[in-house]
């Protein structure tokens, strides 16, 4: 299993891809360096989240860690929560993706 330092060194080397090798990849990486580093951390990011009992039941109950609470909130937005009348963002993202793809196909087909 790779350690944190190794993961970060690998990410730095990936970020140093010469633009002559793959200009599109080099440009994408240069614009998104922070996400490359977060991605390199992967599941080890949980190692930096303290595991303590929340001070209030409003934060999800006495048996939950702050890490679990963060994921609960993220998943609530992603998939929705009918108990709290929170709608899922998945259908909206799917519609946006389809509209962008359709627009790109239209632009490509009309020489723009």
Domain extent listing, the chain:
1-48, 52-112
Reply yes or no on whether the pLDDT at 66 is more than 80: no
Predicted structure pTM score: 0.39
Q: What are the beta bridge partners of residue 86?
A: 81
For residue 105, how many C-alpha atoms fall within 13 Å in the half-sphere facing its CB? Answer: 6
Please give the pLDDT value at position 41.
Answer: 82
* Residue 20 φ then ψ, to 5°: -70, -25
Burial class (CB in 10 A: 0-12, 13-18, 19+), 40: buried
pLDDT digits 0-9 by tens, 8-54: 888 888 888 777 778 888 888 888 888 888 888 877 777 666 666 55
Q: What is the mean pLDDT of residues 84-99?
A: 83
């Amino acid at each position: 299993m790779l350690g944190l330092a190794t993961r970060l060194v690998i990410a730095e080397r990936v970020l140093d891809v010469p633009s002559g090798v793959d200009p599109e990849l080099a440009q994408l990486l240069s614009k998104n360096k922070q996400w490359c580093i977060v991605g390199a951390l992967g599941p080890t990011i949980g190692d930096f989240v303290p595991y303590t009992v929340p001070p209030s039941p409003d934060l999800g109950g006495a048996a939950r860690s702050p890490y679990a609470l963060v994921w609960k909130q993220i998943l609530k937005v992603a998939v929705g929560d009918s108990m709290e009348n929170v709608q899922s963002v998945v259908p909206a993202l799917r519609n946006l993706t389809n509209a962008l793809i359709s627009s790109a196909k239209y632009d490509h087909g009309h020489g723009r």
